[in-house]
Amino acid sequence: MEFTVDAGELKRACDIMAMVVEERKTTPIFSTVKFEATEAGVHAHATNTERGVSIFLPSAKTVKPGESCCSAKKLKSLAHRASGTVSIAATKATATVRLDGGGTYRLPAIDAREFPTISDAGNEAELFSIPASELLFGLGTVRHAVSDDETRPQLSGIYCRGERVVATDGHRLSIAEMGTSEFPGDGFIISESAIAVLEALSAGDDDVVFSLTSGAVFFESGDVKAFCRLQAGEFPDYRQVVPDKLRGTAVFDRGALLRKIARMKALATGRDGLELTLGEDTLTLEFRSGDHGEGAEALTAENVAGPRLQVGVRVAYLHDALSAIADDKVAIGWNDDVSPLVFSPTSGTAWKFVVMPMRL
């Protein structure tokens, strides 16, 4: 097998495949990329059976048809340091990578026959399309709330149903509405491990086309096709966490609030909290930690209505949520000091962030 390919195109392909491969000493084939060169063009594949990706390389030109596997990690390192045109030639034992400027590198190769077959949606799967910009907004807005608790797999992904995407770790909840598009069916959970691949596909201008089966979701955009197994378990009824009514509300400049919280986060650990106290027109933020210091900030509040607010909230949760949105203004709603805080936009985009208070 031998082909040439543009270095920038190879770099992008390696970046996407790196989101899929795994370093398994017991199954080294899952840490490789498989190249398949034919007269019709060159494809690159990567999988770990739970998720997989196939990428067509438009600039690639086949010199000698064939297929071979080599280390995805090492090839990515070379691709990031290459320019111009890259040549890849492989025998059964060695993949030779030649770079513009005279560099030649040899990587161990693995027989492509050991590479597993990547799943296909088949002809019976239901197809639906979502604009890349809407999907990228939805995933980026809620991803910060995905749980990393391995004992609760149903929370370690993003729940997709109707026009909404939702994520929660049991302490915070993030919801985004994509606008004109809807997911079909009764909802499904895209695992955290597949979200990065889906975001990479959403970064282009093409719509993302989905195919949904009972056990997996397949997506395609431009020259990239991917799949992931659906996350097991039933997503909790998140609507029970969102208050129907709010007794108090106030509006803040998101950028100014985020900058103040970011300074406190620089001193805090992941579990440290800060105290929010809202007066007539001023929000006071206070952070105290015996091991990490203390700090205080103040911010002007607009359109304040309702009862006084004094509540503790984890610093990281506020920072993550405010960093995930781009709105100029953000509204905060509350009922009392032991009820969830609700963050929402004042206009335009449709999202909501709910965070449980903490005892300081």
Q: Which two tokens stand for residue 222?
A: 């431009």
The fold of 126-239 is DNA Polymerase III; Chain A, domain 2 (3.10.150)
Averaged confidence pLDDT in the chain: 91
Mean pLDDT of 298-327: 95
Mean pLDDT of 151-158: 91
20 contacts 119 by C-beta, under 8 angstroms: no
DSSP-assigned letters across all residues of 81-150: T--SEEEEEE-SSEEEEE-TTS-EEEEEEE-GGGSPPPP---SSSEEEEE-HHHHHHHHHHHGGG----T
Q: Reply yes or no on domain 243-355 having CATH 3.40.640.10.
A: no
Q: Write out the H or E segment, with its range, that includes residue 191.
A: strand 183-191
The residues facing 99 across adjacent strands are none
The pLDDT value given to residue 141: 95
The pLDDT value given to residue 323: 96
pLDDT > 90 in the chain, percent: 69
- How many residues comprise the chain? 360
What's the CA gap between 285 and 263, in Å, rounded?
A: 11
The pLDDT value given to residue 125: 67
Place domain 2-114 in its CATH homologous superfamily.
DNA Polymerase III, subunit A, domain 2 (3.10.150.10)
pLDDT digits 0-9 by tens, 92-135: 899 999 999 889 999 999 999 999 988 776 566 678 889 988 99
The pLDDT value given to residue 211: 87
- Domain spans of the chain, in order of start: 2-114, 126-239, 243-355
The pLDDT value given to residue 170: 94
Model pTM? 0.88
284 contacts 296 by C-beta, under 8 angstroms: yes
pLDDT digits 0-9 by tens, 4-59: 999 999 999 999 999 999 876 678 899 999 999 999 999 999 998 889 999 999 99
